[in-house]
Structure 1
Amino acid sequence: MEDWSILLPDLWQATQDTFLMVGVSTLFTVLVGLPLGVLLVTTDRDGLLDIPWLNQILGVIVNIGRSLPFIILLVAITPFTRLVTGTTIGTAAAIVPQTVATIPFFGRVAETSLREVDRGAVEAAKAMGCTHWQIIAKVLLPESLSSLVLGITITIISLLGYSAIAGAVGAGGLGDLAIRYGYQRFETGVMIITVVLLVVLVQGIQVLGNLLARRIAKR
């Protein structure tokens, strides 16, 4: 039987590590993935910039990034992870592959959200003499904000899954705790509690994302 008085500090630390990995990865993913989505939309044919060759290059890069399973990407970019963080294990090291894995994913999500914006609003902004940057900042992004929030919600949930996988290679977090105690030491109770925590986190994030997106859509 598990000694919960001993396990609780580890459980709390693992939860904090998971929040850290997911939070920082989400921040960098949005900072890079959103501009990527904007470029995918604006450089397409009949887009604001209309640079088909750049759009095709970006599309290929995004598709390659999305085609790699996370566990393979985790190992493949080990040299880059070491270059950025100075190590390949631990919470900080896990943030790098998680971010690299989700940027192409969120880039496509953002692209889809931006393409849902009514073309009439864009054409009206052009007729008023708005610059490309003004159209992006005052038409495309505000009009797609509700959809983008839902996309960020999906991305965060995906990152939770990635953080659990990263635990298999010593990244820390709830996945690492589940493997070390629940799998390697056959302590089923620990495995169950980590699974329950992950389920609760996913449900909570999805509910909050839905509420926020609904509130934005009503404005």
Structure 2
Amino acid sequence: MTFKETLMIAITTATLTFVATLLSSKFKNWFDWLDSTNKFIRDHSYIQLRELYLELYAIVAQSEYLRHYSKVQKGYDEVPFIEIHREHHTISMDPSIEDVVIQIKDAVTEFNKLSIAELIINKGAYASQDLLKLAVAYRFIHPYYKELKNNGLDIIQIEELELIKKIVSSIVKETNCYLKKCNMKYNKSEIRTGLMDNKIFKNNINI
């Protein structure tokens, strides 16, 4: 082998080694970035679940159990969320004394539509942008939906219905999406439909 051939082999080897080292470093940096990004997404998704979404999911779960327990015949489009109101009535036999109605508040009644919106707004740092927008809109419309008794009520009822439907569907979908990102058990059907799977109530409880 001539000196020229030996030199060419040495130069080629050095060049290939340099390129291989450079590519190895680039790939390592890329994989490190990718791993760091994925870890951030997992960690942030877990925080969102812990701080907000699992609590919202529990509120929706109570609604779905009430749907099963009360044998609600209307579909999800008509009744996307079911809440309970309890009252204590005191009836006076004395005409000069007015009857008294007291709203009863407990853990069950506090799981209601307005509490969903307020929870999302109060913990807005953990909510998706769309869910936060829907919650703000619902909080605005809620007092009109509850109080107005004129011809405009039908329009407000429709708006209230559509907002709570979107909120409930978003909660169900997004909770499962974050569970998936955390490599935790999730429901594919709930991601696809936005409807909570309530078969666990039907299969295990006969009412």
TM-score by length of 2: 0.28
Query: Which protein is bigger by CA-based radius of gyration?
Result: 2
Structure whose residues are more often strand by fraction = 2
Normalized per residue, the structure richer in helix is 1
